[in-house]
Amino acid sequence: MEKSYNTITKFTKEILSYEIGMEKPKVAILGAIFTGFDGVSRVIEQQAKELSMMCDVSIYALEADMAPPKNVKLEIIGSPKNMYLNRIYRLFLPLNLIVMIKYIKLLGNYDLIIAHHYPLSLLAYFTKSLYDVKYVQWHHSISTDGYTKFHHKIYMWFIEYFEEKSFIIKGADHICSISEFSRELLERKGGIDSIAVYNSVGGRFKEGLNGSKIRLKFEVEGKPLILFVGRIHPQKNVHTLIEVFKIVEGQIPDTKLMIVGKSIFDEYFEQIQVMSNESVIFAGYIPHEELPYYYAACDVYATCSLSESFNLPVVEAQRCGTPVVAFDIGSHREVVENGVLVKEEAVEEFAREIVNMIKRSEDENSR
């Protein structure tokens, strides 16, 4: 077996010994959530879309607000709406024997289970043990960075243990990491070897799209535009991006910064808003179908994140022809091809690279 794959399709064909003309294998993809603002959910969506060409695919999630891809079934298990109750429920799902037994029996009818994140990885583990179904654990790397409150840290510590060190992941038939960085991190933290299978972003992200409607909508026609897409979360280091933007704005006064994404913690979002001025645009959550036009509308895609095991928006932006500025951390050396990597926390240099890109874009547009 190879140590890395560019597509999940090639990996799946190999582990299922799939050949054209065979009866379609049944594949279940398990994720804690299947929601538009979550990066792992978008990976699950793309995996389901690709695998549905050769398999009967179902997605299982505790909660969802997205429709599944065409010809893919979605099974919502259910969980509390309150954030704190939701986290307690996730930790102690194994104690809910009715749910565990019901879904283990259902999953016993599949040929392959791909599990993203605890606690549904536990369903995959027990299904493999009882029904001998192939179980693949998908490793995204867990970071506790950015969590300041004690109960958040404790919760993330448990999740990190279950997903990177426990019997659950060690019991999988195959473990896939989403980058070489993620693979090396898992080996270092859990002593577990894995296979690198890179994420796909789908055909909707491509060059030549017209982002003028986005610029018109937010009244930024003719102005330099910096874009960030992701959760508004301390882990994404959005506060540093605001600091960078202030430096850029000092040199190119009509520049705008657009932040696309959902706020996770109210206190942090309030802090970001206090730091920001009217040149920072909070666009909120944007549906996937519209995202490519946001990438096409901007001059530079910028992220100050200090912890990334892949970074989907970076790849999406580049596919749309937009250059990237990011810190030289995590998997960025693997995924940044059209852009500049800056030494971690070098805020002045980061701002300088954005200014250079904006000026290059203006020169090209004036020709």
Query: Quick check: is 105 in a domain?
Result: yes
Are 45 and 109 in the same domain? yes
Return per-residue pLDDT of the chain as tens, 367 residues. Answer: 788 898 999 999 999 987 666 789 999 999 999 998 888 999 999 999 999 999 999 999 999 999 999 999 999 999 998 888 998 999 999 899 999 999 999 999 999 999 999 999 999 999 999 999 999 999 998 776 666 677 778 888 888 899 999 999 999 999 999 999 999 999 998 999 999 999 988 889 999 999 999 999 999 999 999 999 999 988 899 999 999 999 999 999 999 999 999 988 888 999 999 999 999 999 999 988 899 999 999 999 999 999 899 999 999 999 999 999 999 999 999 999 999 999 998 999 999 999 999 998 877 766 5
pLDDT for 129:
97
Query: Quick check: is 191 in a domain?
Result: yes
The domain of 69 spans: 4-197
Q: Are 288 and 255 in contact (CB under 8 A)?
A: no
Query: Quick check: is 202 in a domain?
Result: no
In the 8-state DSSP scheme, what is residue 232? B
Q: For position 176, which CATH number holds?
A: 3.40.50.2000
pLDDT for 202:
83
CA 212 to each of CA 11, 209, 217, 295: distance values in angstroms, whole numbers, following the listed order: 39, 9, 9, 11
Q: How far apart are CA 47 and CA 304, in angstroms?
A: 27
Are 31 and 90 in the same domain? yes
Query: Quick check: is 207 in a domain?
Result: no
Are 15 and 122 in the same domain? yes
Are 238 and 267 in the same domain? yes
Q: How far apart are CA 109 and CA 21, in angstroms?
A: 21
Strand boundaries in the chain, DSSP class E: 4-5, 26-34, 56-64, 72-76, 112-116, 134-139, 174-177, 195-197, 225-229, 256-260, 280-284, 300-303, 324-327, 339-342
Query: Quick check: is 173 in a domain?
Result: yes
CA 159 to each of CA 140, 175, 263, 338, 344: distance values in angstroms, whole numbers, following the listed order: 12, 17, 21, 34, 26
Are 150 and 252 in the same domain? no
Are 34 and 127 in the same domain? yes
According to DSSP, the β-strands at 195-197 and 4-5 are parallel
Query: Quick check: is 84 in a domain?
Result: yes
Are 115 and 49 in the same domain? yes
Q: How far apart are CA 177 and CA 330, in angstroms?
A: 13
Q: How far apart are CA 184 and CA 188, in angstroms?
A: 6
Residue with tokens 């850029």: 248
Are 179 and 228 in the same domain? no
Convert the pLDDT of each residue in 230-267 to its tens digit: 999 888 999 999 999 999 999 999 999 999 999 888 88
CA 330 to each of CA 30, 83, 143, 302, 308: distance values in angstroms, whole numbers, following the listed order: 25, 28, 11, 15, 5
Of 149, 170, 197, at which residue does a domain stop?
197
